[in-house]
Amino acid sequence: MASGLIPEYFIGEGTLINALLVFVGGYIGDYLKEHIPSSLKESIIKAFGLFSFGMAYHLFNEGSKANIVEVLACLIIGGVVGYYFDFETNLDKIFSSIFKNIGSPEGFNTATIMFCVGPITILGCIMEGARYQNSLILSKALMDGISAVLLASSMGRSVAFASFSILLYQGSLTYISYFFKSSISVSSLENVSFIGACLIVGLALKLLGINKDLKLLNFILSPIIAIFIKS
């Protein structure tokens, strides 16, 4: 970065690269899907489920100092808003109407939660928007691109279209961080980590077939709400 915290790139560049890698990775994985046995596809999905539990455990540790009351409030508020507008059902309808013949929205929903929820997403967007540093979001972009290949090899090319969720969600977070940088505290990031862990546990339950009816996208606003709550 240049001196004086002046970015050498446009704000949101990291998110754009992240979305591009997920889109390309999704299509590569979809191509590989035709050459992978069904039993192996199922194993890959279960592996992502187990990995999600491990990731959640890590995030719970990162959010060990979170304010539990604030976390619960954010989950309730975000959930109430999400269920009132039924984000997940409406996104499924939009996906089905716009991206016909692409496949089931399940891959899109799973990838959206996996790539958009968690402290790396939030912190990466804050670093890029508030501190003009995009190294963390670029690292995430590389990891997401690889994950998209693996996930799409089991769930199809609908995974690739989670790139639009990344553009909208991460792009919004980056510019929120840019315009409201003074409102973000360390305690709010602890809460974000804990909320991210909760949502990823939910994702693991869905991937392992324990609770497939859980509408996780209805809680997508909860981490954003947590950013603005100061202890």
Tell me the per-residue pLDDT of 163-194, one tens digit each, with 9 for 90 and over: 999 999 999 999 998 898 888 888 888 888 88
- The range of the structural domain enclosing residue 113 comes to 11-29+38-227
Residue 43 resides in a domain? yes
DSSP-based three-state secondary structure for 2:
strand
pTM score of the predicted model:
0.83
Residue with tokens 């039993």: 39
Residue 6 resides in a domain? no
Q: How far apart are CA 198 and CA 57, in angstroms?
A: 9
CB atoms within 10 A of CB 5: 10
Residue 88 resides in a domain? yes
Q: What is the mean pLDDT of the chain?
A: 87
Task: Give mean pLDDT, residues 212-228.
Answer: 90
Residue 193 resides in a domain? yes
CB-based contacts of 229: which residues, under 8 Å, 6+ apart? 70, 73, 74, 188, 191
Q: What separation, in Å, do the N-terminal and C-terminal C-alpha atoms of the chain show?
A: 32
Residue 147 resides in a domain? yes
Residue 1 resides in a domain? no
CA 40 and chain centroid, separation = 25
Work out how many domains the chain is built from and give that number.
1
Residue 3 resides in a domain? no
Residue 4 resides in a domain? no
Residue with tokens 């990891």: 143
Q: How far apart are CA 58 and CA 116, in angstroms?
A: 17
Closest by Cα among 192, 225, 227 to 76:
225
Above 50 in pLDDT, residue 20? yes
pLDDT for residue 2: 45
